[in-house]
Amino acid sequence: ERAGKYFGEEYIDNFIKYLVFSNGGLRERDLSHLLEANSWSALKFARCRRFFKFLIVENPHSEQWYVAHNILVEQARNKFHHEKKGIHQVLADYFISLDVEDKVRNSELTTHLMEADNKSAFLSEEAHVDFLLFQHKFLEDPSYWARWTREVLLLLVTRKEGKAPFDYVHDLGAFLRRYYLYQQGVVIYSGLDDYYAELLKTDENEVPYDYYRLMQQFGYCYQGLGKYSEAADVLLRSMEWHNRMMRHHIDHSLHSRAIGYLDIAGLYFQAKDFDKALEASWVALRNLEEFFTCGVDHHVQNEPFKCRLLRANIYYEKQHYEACHQELLFANIAFHQKLSYERDLGDLYRL
């Protein structure tokens, strides 16, 4: 308030609010643009920062000025809370106009686009979203940002007719798993599942590969929550669409299909749904047999052993001991054909 008497209330309000809502502070040239309408001058800025003394300091590496007093930052953010979204939009509009090589631009823009709820600009090529900044912001309030991310992904795949960038999907899934944000993942991917369900009703012949990859991430989130049956159902549905998409290239997808159904069988086994586990493991076996008839070097594959051992465990749990013994014999043959690794032998002998 005292500074406002010397330099003008509007000038000080804008000066402080842009600093406290920035990520790491603002450079003098940034402030000169943002405060241009408030009679900016280098001399006025120098006098102003001297007035605040040690409360406003400069980062010598990036030349960014920032408020160094936490209580002042908190009070200023509370005072301008009702303007928060608009402030972030002003900062976002400014930073997106700078050169993409500008380091301060790239360390600020992602946060301001998120806080301004500007999903359209967030997805634009000009934004060059920093995924590390996105993660940092997401962790501040996972529930809120999970809903926000779901809307962003929906907007993204709607724009691109069901397609989503591989890096974005992969990085997002890896981030959610790294921080055990499985519940937030379910929130994000459930909305996408509904979108693709409607999309596939209108054109069943055009199945985007992105649906398969996104539903894989959905299944991993259910698996992380210990909901194995739901995880298996999601992955099974995605595999059915994957099969339809690859129907003209069956030979090229046999191995990936086998691995997919083997994973599904393992999830149903953990959910103690042994009938569905047997069914999925049988589909995996059929695909493996076709895969090996294509002349592939099967000596580097251990899926036949794993599949037979899984089926033996299923039959054991169902108390079908004769069938269990039969599967163990097949597993033993697969092992001695060098279709597995020495570390797997203990599981075979144990059963």
Q: What is the pLDDT of residue 16?
A: 94
- What does residue 66 show for φ and ψ, rounded to 5 degrees? -145, 160
* Range name among 21-30, 142-151, 161-170, 211-220 with the lowest pLDDT average: 161-170
> Position of tokens 């608009």?
86
In percent, the amount of the chain with pLDDT more than 90 equals: 58
Tell me the C-alpha distance between 24 and 150, whole Å.
27
Q: What is the pLDDT of residue 341?
A: 59
221-226 average pLDDT score: 96
Q: Which amino acid is at 81?
A: H
138 near 145, Cβ under 8 Å?
yes
Tokens of 213: 């990859």
Distances (CA, A) of 159 to 120, 163, 339: 10, 8, 45
Q: What is the pLDDT of residue 299?
A: 47
Q: What is the pLDDT of residue 161?
A: 65
What is the chain's alpha carbon radius of gyration, rounded to the nearest angstrom? 28
| Nearest of 265, 248, 242, 241 to residue 327 by alpha carbon | 265
Tens digit of each residue's pLDDT (9 = 90 or more) over 118-143: 998 998 878 888 888 999 999 999 99
Q: Identify the band that residue 156 occupies on the pLDDT scale cut at 50, 70 and 90.
A: confident
Whether the per-residue pLDDT at 206 is higher than 90: the answer is no
Average pLDDT of every residue of the chain = 87
Q: What is the pLDDT of residue 207?
A: 55
* Range name among 185-189, 203-207, 221-225, 295-299 with the lowest pLDDT average: 295-299
The residue that leads in pLDDT, 170 or 266, is 266
Strands 64-67, 56-59: parallel, antiparallel or unpaired by DSSP? antiparallel
65 near 57, Cβ under 8 Å?
yes
Contacts with 209 (C-beta within 8 Å, 6 or more apart), sequence order: 242, 245
Q: pTM (2 decimals)? A: 0.82
Whether the per-residue pLDDT at 148 is higher than 70: the answer is yes
Q: What is the pLDDT of residue 145?
A: 95
Give the Cβ contact number of residue 315 at 10 Å.
Answer: 21
243-260 average pLDDT score: 75
98-125 average pLDDT score: 92
Whether the per-residue pLDDT at 259 is higher than 80: the answer is yes
Q: What is the pLDDT of residue 251?
A: 62
193 near 215, Cβ under 8 Å?
yes
The residue that leads in pLDDT, 197 or 143, is 143
Tens digit of each residue's pLDDT (9 = 90 or more) over 9-50: 999 999 999 999 999 999 999 999 999 887 789 999 999 999
Tell me the three state secondary structure of residue 222.
helix
78-88 average pLDDT score: 96
In percent, the amount of the chain with pLDDT more than 70 equals: 89
Q: What is the pLDDT of residue 346?
A: 75
Whether the per-residue pLDDT at 56 is higher than 80: the answer is yes
| Nearest of 172, 168, 27 to residue 103 by alpha carbon | 27
